[in-house]
Amino acid sequence: MASVSPVVTWSVLIGTSVLCYAIKLVGYLVPPRWFAPERFQRINSLVPVVLLSALVVAQGVAVKTHLVIDHRLAGVAAALAALVAKAPFPVVVLSAALTSALVYRWR
């Protein structure tokens, strides 16, 4: 297991929980016209796409500030193949885990 200071893990847990709940509550409390500008809506709809893309990179080939090609990339490639083959979600994740574990053990 990775060892991370409890101060970090608890503050991330609490900070994320408070902010994510506040964001969900916003729409129930403010007048809808505040969010009307089309530009805001357009950018907001792209935010999950860019963040998820960056997260694939960060988790697939980055270790801190280095780019590292290892077993994880093999796993991501297997996931990509599964997605192209229109496999259901659990199959995508399982094939990534299986491929990565095999490469990790037999490299």
Give residues 63-82 in contact with another protein (rule: CB under 8 A): 63-67, 71-72, 74-76, 78-80
- Residues of span 3-22 touching another protein by CB under 8 A: 3-4, 8-13, 15-17, 19-21
Q: Closest separation between CB of residue 4 and another protein, Å?
A: 4
| Residue from 50, 69, 85, 106 binding another protein (CB under 8 A) | 50
CB of 71 closer than 8 Å to CB of 103: yes
37 belongs to the binding site for another protein (CB under 8 A): no
CB of 73 closer than 8 Å to CB of 60: yes
Could you write out the DSSP letters of every residue in 50-86? HHHHHHHHHHHTEETTEE--SHHHHHHHHHHHHHHTT
